[in-house]
């Protein structure tokens, strides 16, 4: 549930439950492929490929150059603020393919969401409508009303799959080719290939005709966390220079610890024996005194021989 979560250059395939779930402000999904919700089980499920859900007002989320494909029926392909429909958030969706091949699997977006949805491709051939936004529903003929460049049609994946490995590169003639925008989206695809190839960016995680590995994806770096307000700034611990004494190896450290443990045990044992010695001596003296009195009682006829031997054996047992 961390803020600024960045799900980046990933394939999320055949999950049993949700594909990607975002809670924190500033989070995004970028250059990702998400498919196979339900892990091969086509029964109705409460899970969705993409879930955005937060109690934080005015949180911001982005979905950029993502491919989503699913086969499960009777649930949302993506739902945004379903559990918090009155909490206002911002959602930006660009260059993303939403393909829900299962019956009745539209997208849900709460009416409180400030939505920017541009240059996306939708395909829900077995659903009555494509998207629910607040109180409004949008079918395949109305999807362009959501924003510039939104289109409807079969994305023509090479080999869509459910419960197995799929190939979600685009085939020639796909409506996603050259239909995307360059606004705020990555300039390489999920294969590390260059974008754009042709007259424009493609919609989805893969650029048609790109060369895998041609562009090395940049490393994601995060700024250091600031020191707490009013607190001291911690300086990094200085490292030892080349003239420092060598540190003990792992084996030497273990040996040192073992010797130290033996010494400690020996000291504790000595203390115990020192304390135990006088105590044990006092216990022996007490037993001898009891036996002496027992002898007197037998001589004076105050106890029987049977009782005498029974008690003596008991006392002598405690003396050992």
Residue 179: φ, ψ to 5°: -100, 5
Residues 202/195, Cβ–Cβ less than 8 Å = yes
Residue 281's pLDDT is what?
54
Contact status, residue 79 vs residue 108, Cβ threshold 8 Å: yes
Higher pLDDT, 305 or 69: 69
The residue ranges of every structural domain in the chain are 6-170, 275-318
| pLDDT tens-digit map of 129-168 | 999 999 999 999 999 999 999 999 999 999 999 888 999 9
pLDDT on residue 220: 47
More confident residue, 39 or 250: 39
| Res 223: pLDDT | 47
pTM summary value: 0.68
Is 172 a residue whose pLDDT tops 80?
A: yes
pLDDT at 46: 80
Say if CB 194 and CB 188 are below 8 A apart.
yes
Instruction: Choose between 269 and 127: higher pLDDT.
Output: 127
């Amino acid at each position: 549930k961390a803020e600024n979560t960045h799900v980046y250059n990933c394939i999320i395939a055949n999950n049993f439950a949700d594909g990607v779930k975002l809670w924190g402000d500033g989070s995004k999904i970028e250059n990702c492929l998400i498919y196979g919700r339900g892990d091969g089980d086509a029964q109705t499920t409460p899970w969705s490929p993409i879930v955005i859900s937060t109690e934080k007002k005015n949180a911001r989320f982005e979905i950029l150059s993502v491919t989503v494909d699913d086969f499960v029926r009777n649930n949302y392909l993506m739902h945004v603020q379903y559990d918090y429909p009155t909490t206002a958030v911002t959602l930006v969706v660009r260059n993303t393919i939403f393909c829900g091949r299962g019956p009745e699997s539209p997208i849900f977006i709460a009416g409180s969401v400030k939505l920017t949805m541009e240059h996306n491709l939708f395909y829900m051939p077995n659903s009555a409508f494509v998207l629910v936004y607040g109180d409004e529903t949008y079918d395949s003929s109305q999807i362009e009303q959501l924003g510039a460049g939104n289109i409807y049609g079969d994305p023509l994946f090479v080999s869509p799959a459910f419960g197995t490995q799929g190939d979600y590169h685009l085939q020639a003639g796909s409506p996603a080719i050259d239909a995307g925008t360059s606004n705020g989206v990555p300039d390489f695809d999920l294969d590390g290939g260059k974008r754009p190839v042709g007259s424009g960016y493609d919609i989805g995680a893969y650029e048609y005709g790109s060369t895998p590995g041609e562009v090395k994806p940049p490393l994601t770096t995060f700024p250091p966390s600031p020191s707490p307000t009013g607190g001291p700034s911690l300086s990094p611990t200085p490292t030892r220079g080349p003239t420092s004494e060598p540190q003990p190896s792992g084996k030497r450290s273990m040996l040192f610890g073992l010797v130290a443990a033996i010494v400690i045990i020996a000291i504790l044992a000595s203390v115990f024996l020192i304390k135990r010695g006088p105590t044990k001596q006092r216990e022996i003296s007490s037993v001898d005194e009891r036996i002496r009195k027992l002898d007197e009682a037998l001589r004076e006829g105050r106890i029987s021989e049977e009782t005498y031997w029974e008690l003596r054996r008991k006392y002598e047992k405690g003396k050992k």
